[in-house]
Chains A and B, each alone.
Chain A
């Protein structure tokens, strides 16, 4: 009896998954720029597991917010902070209760030059650089975290004349990668892959130096009736995704 039931359930699951495949749809996804690196791997896994396809737009969180408020067709939003999703939820732009933290970002002090940044970040105190790049603290959560780190280290005043701001964390990486700034605070995920630094030198900034960079996701009103959006949120919470984002330097 038990056996038969499980067999029946199995058959049902198969047919359901067949239905899922035949009803496979697109999910319109808006992603904060710092999370762009893990998305291809996640999209591949999601498609394999569910048959749904991700249609992804990248941008700064504030800019994506403005677009959502003005009718952008996004169904799921992966923000770079927790404030913006909370705001969208309270403004009725999202499916209530769908908000969750999909990743906690880590900050890195990074230089494109090998050996420039030491393991403990002493290069900051030495203050021998021309330009220190950070993301705009007013618009980018990683910028805010970077400002907090500088404050905590008591260096805010000392490095202020040398700060150059990228409008997004991606642009900040560009400043450093092109050598225009010798070093900068970037998202660890941007310079980290499979548990290794991809180039240059970096200091993984200890998490206690700044408030946690919680990156929240939620389902937007436009995705309320899209089963693929629900499926994506469930998939993001899976262990498989946890492994992917860890390899890019995020935690959860």
Chain B
């Protein structure tokens, strides 16, 4: 196998990035999805559309705006500088933030679908059985939405692994910090090291296939009829 140390470092970094991103996305995505599933607010559609934007935008657009907004003159950049964090471009933290934006709909939408499928009825039953809103959320909603959470986590993770455009725009190709597998593949192609490119790219194809296979077979054999994916 012609893979170098840098290649392995890139793969490892990719998994670190995807794991951390998925964890953050579940924490951030759950309240957003819950709100979207429940609200009658006139802001529901605009917020839903914003969350879904990364589905249709080229990653380079997200990357470009992140590059500008996280830069020293941008909104995020000004904020992080005033907090004494410097700017986040070319850092692992910056990639995590970019990935969170980029993969947000892949986590929010399955969760929102799961929450909507659950409906109000189980919550009302819980309320008449003396469970407060938080109690009901943890003892009724979370268990019922479990298939949705599994789908959301898998999709969020896999989509982050497959991220390229955003990393390219804000990463700076720094080994061990921002040089992830997809960028490494690009480097190999550009430098005509096709054998290494094949090993990495083939690995990505295999990984993605296994993830989707797990997702599809898990869904068809799942005991819950909960609709978790459109």
Contacts and interface: CB of A to CB of B under 8 A. Distances in A.
Direct contact of A and B (CB under 8 A): yes
Interface of A: 60, 62-63, 65-66, 130-131, 133, 136, 138-139, 163-167, 171, 174-175, 178-181
B15 to A, nearest CB: 22
Contact of B189 (A63, A131, A136): A63
B122 interface: no
Contact of B72 (A66, A136, A171, A179): A179
26 contacts: A62-B189, A62-B191, A63-B190, A66-B189, A66-B192, A130-B87, A131-B172, A136-B173, A138-B187, A138-B191, A139-B190, A163-B172, A164-B174, A165-B173, A167-B173, A167-B186, A167-B187, A171-B168, A175-B89, A175-B172, A178-B74, A179-B72, A179-B77, A180-B71, A180-B170, A181-B172
B191 A139 contact: yes
A164 B179 CA distance: 11
A179 B190 contact: no
A133 B87 CA distance: 15
A66 B186 CA distance: 11
- CB-CB nearest 8 A-B residue pairs: A164-B172, A62-B190, A165-B173, A139-B190, A180-B89, A180-B71, A178-B71, A179-B72
Nearest to A167: B168
B67 A180 contact: yes
Given A66-B192, A164-B172, 4 more contacts: A165-B174, A175-B172, A178-B68, A179-B72
A180 B72 contact: yes
B133 interface: no
A65 B70 CA distance: 33
A66 B187 CA distance: 12
B68 A62 contact: no
A175 B87 CA distance: 12
Interface in B70-96: 70-74, 77, 86-87, 89-90
Interface of B: 64, 67-68, 70-74, 77, 86-87, 89-90, 168-170, 172-174, 183, 186-187, 189-192
Most interface-central of A66, A138, A167 (chain B CB within 10 A): A167
B73 A165 contact: no
Nearest to A66: B189
Nearest to B191: A138
A176 B172 CA distance: 12
B4 to A, nearest CB: 12
A179 B71 contact: yes
Given A164-B172, A180-B90, A138 B68 contact: no
A66 B68 CA distance: 31
A192 to B, nearest CB: 23
A174 B66 CA distance: 12
Contacts of B183: 167
Contacts of A165: 172-174
A180 to B, nearest CB: 4
B68 A133 contact: no
Contacts of B189: 62-63, 66
A136 to B, nearest CB: 6
A101 B191 CA distance: 21
B66 to A, nearest CB: 10
B73 A179 contact: yes
A156 to B, nearest CB: 15
Contacts of A136: 173, 187, 190
A178 B183 CA distance: 21
Contacts of A181: 90, 172
Contacts of A139: 187, 190-191
Nearest to B73: A179
Most buried by A among B87, B90, B187: B90
A199 B186 CA distance: 31
A180 B70 contact: yes
Nearest to B68: A178
Contacts of B174: 163-165
A139 B192 CA distance: 9
Contact of B67 (A60, A131, A167, A174): A174
Given A66-B192, A138-B191, A164 B173 contact: yes
